[in-house]
Amino acid sequence: MSNDYENGENIKSCIILCGGKSSRMGQDKGSMIIQDKPMIKHILSTLNHQITEAIIVLNDKERIDRYCGFINPDDYSFDLSFVEDKIKDKGPMPGIMTGLGEIKSDYALVLPCDSPYVSKNYINTIFNEIDTDYQAIVPYHDDEDRLKTSEPLHSIYSRNIIPEIESLIEGDVLHIKGLIEKIDAKFVLIDNKKIEKKEFRNLNRPTDI
């Protein structure tokens, strides 16, 4: 077991997915004001001093320009970049693929822009679970069915799964749990001790706020 990256053992990368249509919310979720600041800035604040780089994946140049208008990379301890989703309107899997193609490390934590309750403790815990024998580190709720109760949008992925993602997208298999089935995944229990369930609460609809 090893927690070292092949290309720089101290690099910690995070991919934040902001390419969704937010149809249930009725507006762009990442830029929504929650407790006096855009939702994505809650996540960025949590990541501060915890990671080395963050890649924010957005669905078009117009949204990139908008996010650049209210996010100042100089406010954070990590390198921050904005990239355009290579494949549009196909769900989060292309966003993961796009982000993995940009990272400097061999692994990245993936987070959605609508999960403002992720804590620094979770960031540290999940990174400490990295094992180079596996291609993904996936938290889950119930031992009876790890895959079904997993949280694939709060997981760590190796960049070496990019060809697998490309193959699934070509076959129009877009469900991330379909990806986890095909790669070597290490499952980590959400036990309300080391990892708390509240970390995974996201805001999909106005009634969730």
| Annotated binding residue 18 | yes
DSSP code of 2?
Answer: -
The CA distance from 175 to 180, in Å, is 9
Is 113 assigned a ligand-binding role in the annotation?
no
**145 in a known ligand binding site:** no
Consult the annotation and say whether 194 binds a ligand. no
Q: Is 114 annotated as a binding residue?
A: yes
The annotation status of 86 as a binding-site residue, yes or no, is: no
Please give the annotated binding residues for GTP, written as ranges: 17-19, 29, 85, 114
Please give the annotated binding residues for Mg(2+), written as ranges: 114
Please give the annotated binding residues, written as ranges: 17-19, 29, 85, 114
